[in-house]
Amino acid sequence: MKFFADTAEVKDIQELNDLGLLDGVTTNPSLIAKSGRKFKDVIAEICAIVEGPVSAEVVSLDYEGMMREAADLRKIARNVTIKVPLTLDGLKACKSLTSDGCMVNVTLCFSAIQALLAAKAGATFISPFIGRLDDIHVDGTELIAEIRQIYDNYAYDTEILAASVRTALHVKQVALIGADVATCPPAVIKGLVRHPLTDKGIEQFLADWKKTGQTL
């Protein structure tokens, strides 16, 4: 499973990339606002660090506006992936952009049937938001399982990009189901390594090593 960082913080992206853990990045207007930086500058910097897909979201709601913004964003780098909302205009833009060789991430997916539409529109990625479903007491991971089944039934090659992933448990659950990608805040990705028995084991080994009186 691929890991994408869900952030617009360049420093965090550089750190994860240096660790060899990063396959791509997703941003959205809220993350750009949080960074306090200019959208296109941030996307250009991220694309210079990360080889994989970097999602940059359009903000127009109409097809023409989305296509105009996408044309502008695509000029930034070859790995820019245009993120469009799951609306009729978004799906139309998705079809046009993917037909033109551009990667597209269809975002704000909350139902399996929406995901089917995105696959029919040729989406490169579908982004079901599992954490936001959990927020309203709906099991977001069930949505991932439904989409996996539908995509497998019809051999769609749209990748399932589990979004709004907030915990290590989410990551495990979507990996077990077979999501292609999980996009997570950097802290969640770094936290995946932690286990109390690993820490305890290191402590024990170091204490025993000390007893040997040897050095390396």
Residue numbers at the binding site for ligand G3P (CB under 6 A): 6, 26, 28, 129, 131-132, 163-164, 166, 183
Nearer to ligand G3P, 79 or 164 (CB): 164
Active site residue 83: yes
Instruction: State how far the Cα of 34 lies from the Cα of 185, in Å rounded to an integer.
Output: 13
* DSSP of 63-91: HHHHHHHHHHHHTT-TTEEEEEESSHHHH
Find the shortest distance in angstroms from Cβ 85 to ligand G3P: 11
25, amino acid identity: V
Nearer to ligand G3P, 8 or 66 (CB): 8
Q: Which of 38, 40, 83, 211 is catalytic?
A: 83
Residue number of the CB atom closest to ligand G3P: 164
Nearer to ligand G3P, 136 or 207 (CB): 136
Mention every residue, 6+ apart, whose C-beta is less than 8 A from residue 58.
65, 66, 69, 70, 73, 82, 83, 84, 93
Find the shortest distance in angstroms from Cβ 86 to ligand G3P: 12
What positions carry a catalytic annotation?
83
